[in-house]
Amino acid sequence: MTNNTCQNCNAQLTPGQWMCPECGTAVPASDDDVDRTVMRPPVAGPAPLAPPVAGGLITSIPGAGVPPPTGKPGLAPPIWSPIAGTQVPTSQPVPPTFLAPGQGQPAVPAPVPDASPRWLPRVAVALAVVGIGLLVWKLTSSDDGGANPGTTGPVTSTAILETTVVETTVVETTVETTTVTTVEPTTVPPTAPPVTDPPRPPWPAPPIPEPPVFAGPGIAWAVSDPLASGMNSDQPTPYLLFAQDVFNKMAADDWVGVQPTFWFQLPDGQVVPYTFDVQSQWPAADRLSLLLVDAAPDATGLSGYDLTVAVIANFAGSTSMLCGHLYSDPVTSGQVIQRGQFELLADGAPSFMPEALLNDPAQIADLQARCK
């Protein structure tokens, strides 16, 4: 049987359509149509749908009725759409009507009024049709790469499982170990500069007395600094002064003070106390002065110094000069020893003072050359 119009909304139908594109009402199948069975998903609700009768066709959708004679198509809200796959609940669900083969058109119940607007089902159907069209286009386009977009057919989905193989390369790394040895810094104490004696002042000559002095205490004075041997003149000075004190006592005729201190060494090395008979060079002098030419520690192991001296003897109206060696020890023995006879360098010369000789470099040089 061929139906050209929808029984619900009177919309024009093309041959072979089984559902109205306007309202979604199922179109009764003709005799040459192939049986179709619409499988509906289970719907939760108080009245589930009953299974279709075997051998029968679904000729209507529950809730669909004959529109009222108003001249305008009337739509009943569908409960389930095979296109959208959703169920639209209604206020009064109506069970579907199934026809056996050969039966006539059953009576259509009166439409149930619905409080929802009449244009909502149309919009839902239109959206469903557009969605199905997009889905079919997407599937056909994905199937043949867009070469035949109008061809419909079964779509086969193939799942390709990609296996990603990650190759791990282990690089052998050689680590060089450097051993750091901590060396404690060596603290070098600051090196003090060598202690050196400050430069000695130039050798001073004694002042010349005015008026001249030819009697009384004499002077003890070094003729140079350093001495001939290189010794500083101040090193043997204490020993020279001790001997000068003994000769001052001689010039003052203090023989009691002279005898315990002054000794005489004979040529054979024997040391004897001083007597007038042994040494008669000094008693008549009015002033005796010792001029130090050189000095050295005693070579015989004694604690004193061996002094090389020139003796300036001032007499009344003349002056004599003698050279010899004295041993002086003011610390241990408290003695002054004359070692042998003194050599006479000048005898009965015109009177001159030792201070005048020490201010004459020529006479100093002559004295150093002759007094050894």
Does some domain include residue 265? yes
The tens digit of pLDDT for each residue in 114-162 reads: 545 566 777 788 888 888 888 877 777 655 544 444 444 444 444 444 4
pLDDT higher at 312 or 51 = 312
Q: What percent of the chain has pLDDT over 90?
A: 36
- Among the three residues 91, 114, 149, which one is the final residue of a domain in this structure? 149
Q: Answer yes or no: do 35 and 133 share one domain.
A: yes
Does some domain include residue 342? yes
State the pLDDT at residue 238.
95
Other beta carbons within 10 angstroms of residue 263's beta carbon come to: 18
Residue (of 203, 194, 212, 215) closest to 292 by Cα position:
203
Residue (of 117, 123, 94) closest to 23 by Cα position:
123
List of E strands, 160-215: none
Pick the most confident of 24-38, 112-126, 237-251.
237-251
Q: Answer yes or no: do 145 and 241 share one domain.
A: no
Q: Answer yes or no: do 255 and 345 share one domain.
A: yes
Q: Answer yes or no: do 119 and 247 share one domain.
A: no
State how far the alpha carbon of 290 is from the alpha carbons of 30, 76, 115, 222, 242, in Å: 174, 163, 159, 9, 11
Task: Give 55-71 as a 3 state SS string.
Answer: CCEECCCCCCCCCCCCC
pLDDT higher at 186 or 139 = 139
Q: Answer yes or no: do 125 and 35 share one domain.
A: yes
Does some domain include residue 10? yes
**Residue type at 360 in one-letter notation:** D
pLDDT higher at 268 or 189 = 268
Domain count, the chain: 2
Q: Answer yes or no: do 360 and 226 share one domain.
A: yes
Q: Answer yes or no: do 235 and 366 share one domain.
A: yes
Return d(Cα 48, Cα 96) in angstroms, integer. Answer: 10
**CATH code of 288's domain:** 3.10.450
Does some domain include residue 186? no
- Among the three residues 99, 117, 149, which one is the final residue of a domain in this structure? 149
Does some domain include residue 64? yes
Q: Answer yes or no: do 128 and 240 share one domain.
A: no
Asked if 21 contacts 54 with a C-beta cutoff of 8 angstroms, the reply is no
pTM value > 0.95: no
- Among the three residues 106, 123, 149, which one is the final residue of a domain in this structure? 149
Length of the chain in terms of residues written: 372
Does some domain include residue 166? no
Does some domain include residue 364? yes
Pick the most confident of 66-70, 138-142, 231-235.
231-235
Q: Domain limits at 244?
A: 220-370
H or E element that contains 346: strand 343-349
Asked if 229 contacts 368 with a C-beta cutoff of 8 angstroms, the reply is no
The answer to whether residue 81 scores a pLDDT higher than 50 is: no
Return d(Cα 63, Cα 77) in angstroms, integer. Answer: 7
The three-class DSSP label of residue 239 is helix
DSSP string of 21-55, one letter each residue: TTT-PBPPP-TTSPP--PPPPP--SSSPPPPPPTT
* Residue 66 pLDDT level (bands cut at 50, 70, 90): very low
Q: Answer yes or no: do 112 and 22 share one domain.
A: yes
List of E strands, 188-332: 220-222, 262-265, 271-273, 287-297, 305-315, 318-329
* Residue 18 pLDDT level (bands cut at 50, 70, 90): confident
DSSP 8-state secondary structure symbol assigned to residue 139? H
Return d(Cα 76, Cα 67) in angstroms, integer. Answer: 9
pLDDT higher at 123 or 230 = 230
Least confident range of 29-43, 105-119, 147-161: 147-161
Does some domain include residue 1? yes
State the pLDDT at residue 5.
83
Q: What is the mean pLDDT of residues 161-169?
A: 51
Q: What percent of the chain has pLDDT over 70?
A: 58
